[in-house]
Amino acid sequence: MSQHRVIVVGGGLAGLAAAVRIAEAGTHVDLFSLVPVKRSHSVCAQGGINACNEVARQQGYSEYEHFDETIYGGDFLADQHPVLEMANWAPRIIDLLDRMGVPFNRTGEGNRDLRLFGGSLFKRTHFAGATTGQQLIYALDEQVRRYESEGKVFKHEFQEFLWPVMEQGRCVGIVAQDMRTMHIRAFRADAVIMATGGCGLVFGKSTNSIICTGAAAARCFRAGAWYGNPEMIQVHPTAIPGADKLRLMSESARGEGGRVWVPRKAKDPRAPKDIPESERWYFLEEKYPAYGNIVPRDIATREIFDVCVNQGMGVYGENQVYLDLTHKDPEYLTRKLGGILEIYEKFVGEDPRFTPMKIFPAVHYSMGGLWTTYTKGSYNPQTALTKHKSGSPAPIDAKVGQGMQLGAVNNSMTNIPGLYAFGEVNFAYHGANRLGANALLSCIFDGLFCGVSVLNFIRNEAPGKNPAVDLPAGAYDAVVQQETAKMKHLLDGAKPANQDASTNPYMIGKELGEEMTAACTVVRTEARLKQCLGKLAELKDRYSRLRLADGASWTNQSFGYARSVGDMLVLAEAIALGALERRESRGAHYRSDHTGRDDGNFMKTTLARHANGVTAVEFVPIDASLILPTARTYGKKDSSPNAAAAPAMASAAS
Amino acid sequence: MTATAQTPRRTATPDRTVTFRIKRCDGPGKPSYWQDFRVKVPKNSNVISCLQQIAAEPVTAGGERVTPVVWDSGCLEEVCGACTMVINGKVRQSCSCLIDDYAPADGDVITLEPMSKFPVVRDLWVDRSRLFHNLARIKAWVPIDGTYDLGAGPKETPASQATHYVLSTCMSCGCCLEACPQFNLEEDRDQWDSSFIGAHAISQARLFNAHPTGSELKPDRLDVLMGEGGVNDCGNAQNCVQVCPKHIPLTESIASIGRQVTLHAISKFFRG
Amino acid sequence: MRLVTVAPALPANFYWNRTVTQAETSAPNAGFMARHYFLLRRLHSLSGIVPIGLFLINHLLTNSSAAWGILASRESEHSGSWAMRGFEYFWKEVRWINTQVPNLILIEVALWGAIAFHSILGFYYAATGSVNTDRYAYQGNWRYRLQRISGYLGILFIFYHVATLRWGWTFLVPGGTQWSQDFAASTLAMVLRGGSSGITFAGLAVSLAYFLGVTLLVFHFANGLWTAAITWGITISANSQRRFGYACFGLGAAMMLMGWISIFTFLVADPAKVREVETRLGSPRAVAVQAGDK
């Protein structure tokens, strides 16, 4: 084993995949996580993981079409080469997970079963019940435990990442704090992989876990890492409203035939089963005859939002629509969707197999994240091709290295050498909107494919000659001191008597969430975003005078939360600023004052930089040399609640 | 999930105040003490949303301003297992514990305690490292030849998948261990390997023994499970299966591993 | 006001003060119990069924023959009384057992060994658990608790039973009755009644102790048989466990019935009349002893 060490921050799918890849190559991994890795937010992913498969392939589908769908679904904002490589790798990843023992649902013959998912007309989504993310992360957790037993991985659980350590122009380690003992320590590493997920908590209530504050990414951002497309926040169309969080109702509910509707009569007081078919408005099926209920998330979200908020057609006049599965066989539903239906029943108290679910959109995923780069692969056509015709022959095969060059040291590396970003915190793959069941794929792909790049970096670049273990302690000590001072600042004067709402971290966090949800989610306007930036400035000011009620130097949870709020404020500002400056509508970003897509000015990455406490954004060109942009309509037609009730037809329900 | 149409929930009094009686502890080795908090509960509240209210405004029923209560939580949708605690005397996840069910009337009391079989870190937060240590002991993994592209895994019938999937939904929350009369608190790490391993790890051993590649390590797993603290320590109280939030057939797993160690022992006796 | 200001001191061996990356295997210098853990556990399970459980069934069958022997006994040449036929049958059963003397000693030694092994290990194993029926009042949990209680009380009862009837510790018997194998039924009746005349309160207390003791031991056996099937991996599915549970319940119920009927039969028997039967059937030796008494 070499004397090199790699730090992986985050124990979700991306972090675990990276840890396994690096550990099996013989390099020591230090894995940092806020929670035991088995409890990471990846467990919440429900629907499945996309990959071209033999059944779809024999119907004309290909890895290339998967790539094309992802680019189109992301509204042409992603650099195209990394997406191509990811789509090409997808079948390999499924095979690997299969070998690891993931209990994928099976067909009668014992093959992996498939389901339909948003943004595709082919069944290309592999799934394990309705808890695919959980099953995938368990499989990787088990592999990491194996390497942990062999002493190749060391897990630092309940450790919070505080700051990257930079020396000689590269990242050489991190400073982290044990959330129990509150000890702040520096850890040396030849490369640091951030796999810290999204930032749902910036929006207060979201579908994210309580740990998804985005603080780790924000700290890298504050330390000089660039942030890409911060404004691209996916609002999932179907979530269960709740007091503490908004629980996801998987897209697979629609993929398995779930139909979205509202009564044609506004504020209809009747129970759903008493409303005859002719008086139900299946607005998605009417507006999008081809895709029906399985249009991509941003479109479904906006339509539901429009029906409820603008037209006042929500069920019982509230912000909710029906997601109806009651026409399906209850046995079938239990087998295919048991896990998520159980969640609904547990938290709402109604059985969705017999009563339509009441759902509303919720913040779900951050397409944006730390900006990363890559080395282009071998596929470079003379001119970009037009949009791939579904089911037609693919222009290229799926050999490795056509999209990204395997092992190039800068794949998924941030602007700071030695600092990588994998998974949701990497902005690279989903453009302006992520397709359902592509998130799990991008996480594992990053870990496996770019893990090789990390290995090459520590072997062939600066760490090869000058490993972190030999560096002077000065840089590490300085960051430890910086973080200790931060802690002292927050803890000094903390006492239970401090309960003034204006300087209470929980109140500031709550107001931040409410403001961001109101200004920066489904519909955005210049005026509202400017107001939001004003509010953020006010919150920042209040934050600087923050008073804690708990001064404990042992497992001080409110201190940890308070520190994250400071980082969330920085991230929130980048999100609002990006949304303000992007004067167009694209994917998840919808500006009611700029409703069209403006490829000339904005088919560019929003690049946010932070220096001296100030965030600035600019737009930098993307590489779109593979596919020409086309209008992203998903075949939309006009529809209104009062139109003659067309025979409702769901392409997925048949 | 019930197979027939749902039974209506008890109607809860709107705008009521519920008392949370919380067992607190400032850290390992410190004494425990109880504090009461009164919380106004909106509709659809659960224990977590009430704890969030308490954290934002930690004032006891007696009007004393105290430190916020510390607890562990993650996904809040009962798939991560983090927020497990003892509520009204029984172990369960606090996120799925709806106040409308537990305290439907004004003035109702809900008691919250940390799990008793794991060392308390602070207040309601316990450290369950031992759970994961036990998974390592029984080698709960499929020993694949690395993460390279080596083709698909073995085929599997839907029936076999259904069995394995249920076992694989175990989120290591520790409910089965908290309720088990044979599983004990062990603060001394040296005792971990001789004290009862519990249903959680036994069921995982069953899962991996059943996998064609995972069965490679079956003898190692059974050696651990036939030893001290192994499956023989089970007292068949069968509380585990009653409290498992994922309805995993833990007692079947215990019996299955019982058979496997029986055969393993016979095989070892005759074949060395 | 409670406020932590310093990190609490952790015990020296507190688990997160130690870092272990290798999954530990049992230490090579483990003690006898650890080295033979599986064997001892399974012998403990087995010993409860064979020989102890088998003996218990046999014992209850023999004793209850005082009641059901009425139906089984066709020969009534010795007795004019229909009610006494059961005691005749019982007398013959006991005589048959006692004429197997060399075997009997072997059986007794084996049985005592098994009971000692089963109870000593049982105490040791039971000490590893901590009951929690107050919080988890499930039926299975109650059976777990009862299994331990019945074990503790059961072994006390066995000791009392053998000490008073076999070893002649008459000071523990109200009325000081000395049980005799030749007059098994009549002396047993006197033990349970508290003397040779009417039923005394002390006698009722002894009968009650027998009732409880027999009930607990039968429960211990039937429940133990059910759990053994799980331990050995004979019943795996929840359905098979439930079905075998009914079977064990049936067996236990039948055994309890035998035990209770035995106690009742001897309790209500008139010792004098029973002794007449025994004297009539008895060997010359028995007659001689009886003559000597007079």
pLDDT tens figures, C170-183? 999 988 888 888 88
Q: Residue A584 belongs to what domain range? A: 474-600
CA pair distance A160, A9, nearest whole angstrom: 9
Taking an 8 Å cut-off on Cβ atoms, the answer to whether B151 and A248 are in contact is: no
The token pair at A397 is: 């095969």
Which chains have 3 or more CB–CB distances shorter than 8 Å to chain C? A, B
**B23 has which bridge partners?**
B34
CA pair distance A252, A246, nearest whole angstrom: 17
pLDDT tens figures, B131-182? 999 999 999 999 999 999 999 999 999 999 999 999 999 999 999 999 999 9
**Three state DSSP letters for A105-168:** CECCCCCECEECCCCCCCCCEECCCCCHHHHHHHHHHHHHHHHHHCCCEEEEECEEEEEEEEEC
Which one of A418, A444, A470 terminates a domain?
A470
Q: Which residue ranges make up each domain of chain C?
A: 48-126+137-293
Q: Which residues of C touch A180 (CB under 8 A)?
A: 16
Judge whether residue C287 has pLDDT over 70: no
Closest Cβ–Cβ partner in C4, C21, C23 for A552 = C4
Preceding amide of C51 cis, omega within 30: yes
Do A13 and A117 belong to one domain?
A: yes
Taking an 8 Å cut-off on Cβ atoms, the answer to whether C42 and B232 are in contact is: yes
Closest Cβ–Cβ partner in B71, B155, B169 for A110 = B155
Strands annotated E in A468-625: 604-611, 614-621
Residue with tokens 């073995």: B154
Q: Is the ipTM of this complex over 0.85?
A: yes
Which of C1, C3, C17 has the most A C-beta neighbours within 10 Å, making it the best mutation to test the interface with A? Answer: C3
- Residue A637: inside a domain: no
Closest Cβ–Cβ partner in A103, A131, A145 for B161 = A103
Mean local confidence (pLDDT), B248-261: 98
Taking an 8 Å cut-off on Cβ atoms, the answer to whether A552 and C3 are in contact is: yes
Taking an 8 Å cut-off on Cβ atoms, the answer to whether C21 and A551 are in contact is: no
Do A542 and A572 belong to one domain?
A: yes
- Residue A647: inside a domain: no
Do A543 and A464 belong to one domain?
A: no
pLDDT tens figures, B65-106? 999 999 999 999 999 999 999 999 999 999 999 998 999 999
pLDDT at residue number C26: 44
Which of C135, C148, C241 has the most B C-beta neighbours within 10 Å, making it the best mutation to test the interface with B? Answer: C135
Which region among A595-599, A640-644, B122-126, C88-92 has the lowest average model confidence (pLDDT)? A640-644
What residues of chain C, 99 to 138, have a C-beta less than 8 Å from chain B?
Answer: 125, 128-132, 134-136, 138
How big is chain C, counted in residues? 294
Mean local confidence (pLDDT), C89-109: 87
Mean local confidence (pLDDT), C99-108: 84
Q: How confident is the model at residue A14 (pLDDT cuts 50, 70, 90)?
A: very high
Do A307 and A280 belong to one domain?
A: yes
What is the rounded average pLDDT for all residues in chain A?
Answer: 94
| β-strand pairing of A357-366 with A233-240 | antiparallel
Residue C275 phi, psi (nearest 5): -65, -35
Q: How confident is the model at residue A576 (pLDDT cuts 50, 70, 90)?
A: very high
Which chains have 3 or more CB–CB distances shorter than 8 Å to chain B? A, C
**DSSP string over A11-36:** -SHHHHHHHHHHHHTT-EEEEEESS-
CA pair distance A386, A392, nearest whole angstrom: 13
User: What sign results for the dihedral spanned by CA atoms A419, A423, A428, A431?
Assistant: negative
Which region among A312-316, A338-342, A370-374, A544-548 has the lowest average model confidence (pLDDT)? A338-342
According to CATH, the topology of domain B16-126 is Ubiquitin-like (UB roll) (3.10.20)
Residue type at B185 in one-letter notation: L
Taking an 8 Å cut-off on Cβ atoms, the answer to whether C141 and B239 are in contact is: yes
Residue type at B200 in one-letter notation: H
CATH number at residue A209: 3.50.50.60
pLDDT tens figures, C7-40? 445 555 455 544 444 444 444 556 888 889 999 9
pLDDT tens figures, A587-627? 999 999 999 999 999 999 999 999 999 999 999 999 999 99
CATH of domain C48-126+137-293: 1.20.1300
Cα of C259 to nearest chain B Cα, Å = 26
Do A171 and A46 belong to one domain?
A: yes
Q: Which residues of B touch A243 (CB under 8 A)?
A: 42-46, 49
User: What sign results for the dihedral spanned by CA atoms B257, B259, B262, B266?
Assistant: negative
Choose among A234, A204, A197: nearest CA to A369. A197
Mean local confidence (pLDDT), B233-250: 97
Which one of A470, A501, A524 terminates a domain?
A470
What residues of chain C, 4 to 23, have a C-beta less than 8 Å from chain B?
Answer: 4, 7-11, 13-16, 18, 20, 23
Do A200 and A305 belong to one domain?
A: no
Taking an 8 Å cut-off on Cβ atoms, the answer to whether B227 and C129 are in contact is: no
Q: Which residue ranges make up each domain of chain B?
A: 16-126, 129-271
Choose among A499, A493, B26, B124: nearest CA to C2. B26
CATH number at residue A479: 1.20.58.100
A492 reaches C (C-beta below 8 A): no
- By the 8 A CB rule, do B48 and B95 touch? yes
Do A56 and A180 belong to one domain?
A: yes
Closest Cβ–Cβ partner in A151, A495, A496 for C22 = A151
- Residue A400: inside a domain: yes
Taking an 8 Å cut-off on Cβ atoms, the answer to whether B132 and A558 are in contact is: no
CATH superfamily of B129-271: Alpha-helical ferredoxin (1.10.1060.10)
Do A62 and A127 belong to one domain?
A: yes
**A50 has which bridge partners?**
A125
Cα of B120 to nearest chain A Cα, Å = 11
- Residue A649: inside a domain: no
Which one of A329, A364, A399 terminates a domain?
A364
Judge whether residue C114 has pLDDT over 50: yes
Q: Which residues of B touch C128 (CB under 8 A)?
A: 182, 184, 196, 233
- Residue A623: inside a domain: no
What are the residue numbers of the active site of A?
297
pLDDT at residue number C14: 52
Do A371 and A312 belong to one domain?
A: no
pLDDT at residue number C98: 85
Closest Cβ–Cβ partner in A149, A496, A553 for C23 = A149
Q: Which residues of A touch C22 (CB under 8 A)?
A: 149-151
Do A446 and A487 belong to one domain?
A: no
- Residue A643: inside a domain: no
